[in-house]
Amino acid sequence: MKIMLNQLLDEKGISQNQLAKDTGISVAALRNLNHNRTTRISFEILEKICIYLGCGVEDILCIEKDGWFLQNELSETGK
């Protein structure tokens, strides 16, 4: 599983610090997510990020299989 939060923040022109300030999520937690240094994410944090960025979970989490990412394939096939 890969977390695509950093790419999404870049696309929207939002910094980690701004996201932390506006959502109440700690900068450390966001930094760990952005660098894929976490093994779990709480539903509360995921929900706050999705609401703030106006996106879905599938925009943040990506399944990695055999060295490539299924994010686009899954969204294109509707699975």
Give residue-wise pLDDT tens across range 7-62: 999 999 999 999 999 999 999 999 999 888 888 889 999 999 999 999 999 999 98
Asked if 63 and 57 touch (Cβ cutoff 8 Å), the reply is: no
pLDDT of residue 78: 47
Strand partners, 61: 3
DSSP 13: T
pTM: 0.77
What ranges do the domains of the chain cover? 2-77
φ, ψ dihedrals at 66, nearest 5°: 55, 40
Please give the DSSP secondary-structure letter assigned to residue 21: H
Q: Which fold has domain 2-77?
A: 434 Repressor (Amino-terminal Domain) (1.10.260)
Q: Which helix (H) or strand (E) holds 20?
A: helix 16-23
